[in-house]
Amino acid sequence: MTAIPSENGMDAETFDQFIEQLQRYVRERLIPAESQVIADNMIPEDLQDEMRGMGLFGLTMPEEYGGAGMNVPQYVEAIRVLSYALPAYRSLTSINLGMVCSAIKKNGTDEQKAEYLPRLAAGEIACFGLTEPGSGSDSAAMQTTATRSGNGYVLNGAKRYITNAPFAKIGLIMARTEKDNQAKNAHVSAFLVEMDTDGIARGKSDKKMGQEGSHIGDLYFDDVKLPGSALLGGEEGRGFATAMQSLDNGRLSVAAASAGYAKRILDSALKYSTERKAFGDSISQFQLIQAMLADSKAEIYASECMIRDAAAKANNGPAIIKAAAAKMFASEMCGRVADRCVQIYGGAGYLAEYEAERFFRDSRIYRIYEGTTQILQLVIAKNMLRQFAAES
């Protein structure tokens, strides 16, 4: 493995040692536990505690706050390695690492950093509340409001499809602080919310197509009283910019998850193709099977290259186009690899007793959350046109 540069992160040798340890942990602990996680639809508490002990909730937290201090390329590589196992493991940790931590590090006050980053690093589960029943990427349609009241705010509204919502301890919640839509989305602010605050209700965990063991749900805010210190950065109107900055990391995390899981899927297809016999030989000897295996390998490699390049860009500033492109390509690629895996398994690929069926269901969501493929096409195109206009 080639060492990843350690600018503003963990030194390369220590990082390589961590990755080797993580690969063993994935192989020896996380993969063997998958059947239990799927059956219970929950990661066991003892395994969650092991993940905390491994530091998997604090990879991106600065060392002074109890984290590992990884830079963006290191974090993304760690997510790729973790994502070889069941998606639920990444789902549990990723909001802490890629979105909430990023927002607090870049935009939080010193007091907010001191309060929340050590808790996130220690493994208190976070959630990120942007999507609503009537809005997602369209902030102009956002209905959740935070109204000034004395030195604080009163939060009202609802959020939908929120990862970790059923059990999160900390929420980074986007809310409208201006009645009318403002230029550059300045009507949206971000709030750090203790999720046990009076007036917060949680919907039941949604029953999903796949990704057993990960949980999403709705959040409801009914006259939730927030102190003034809950406003991220102490400044109104920066919530949407915060969300978009965090989404760069979130999109890179999903891209890395797609690449990591695609490798798992391809390994499964490769193994099955060598074991399944037809016409007196293993089907791996058939050229059309080999073509599907080769196409999958090439696409995984392409996605890994894109992800590493985008992560390097994001380590030094905004990477809107590259993060969106990497997520779009990697998630679509993972879907193609999963489809080929089912095809290679043949009739067995459609049966729940074989893992190809589960891989197919699990991978479908990657093309939807953190920006659907269609939204990312718009993000890429609009930013290209904006750059072209500025350079013309």
Residues known to be catalytic = 370
User: Dihedral sign, CA of 242, 248, 252, 255?
Assistant: positive
Residue 28 amino acid letter: E
25 Ramachandran zone, left/alpha/beta (phi>0; psi -120 to 50):
alpha
**Phi, psi for residue 281 in degrees, rounded to 5:** -145, 165
Q: Residue 136 corresponds to which tokens in the numbers above? A: 């997602």
Report the alpha-carbon distance of residue 326 to residue 306 in Å, rounded: 6
Report whether 47 contacts 29 (CB < 8 A).
yes
Cβ–Cβ under 8 Å, residues 284 and 290: yes
Distance CA 323, CA 254 (A): 10
Determine contact, residues 157/221, Cβ cutoff 8 Å: yes
Alpha carbons 300 and 253: distance in angstroms, whole number: 15
Count CA atoms within 13 Å of residue 232 on its CB side: 31
DSSP per position, 303-354: HHHHHHHHHHHHTTS--HHHHHHHHHHHHHHHHHHHHHHHHHHGGGGGSTTS
Q: Please, what is the Cα angle at 307 between 292 and 97, to 5 degrees?
A: 120
Terminal Cα-to-Cα distance of the chain (whole angstroms): 42
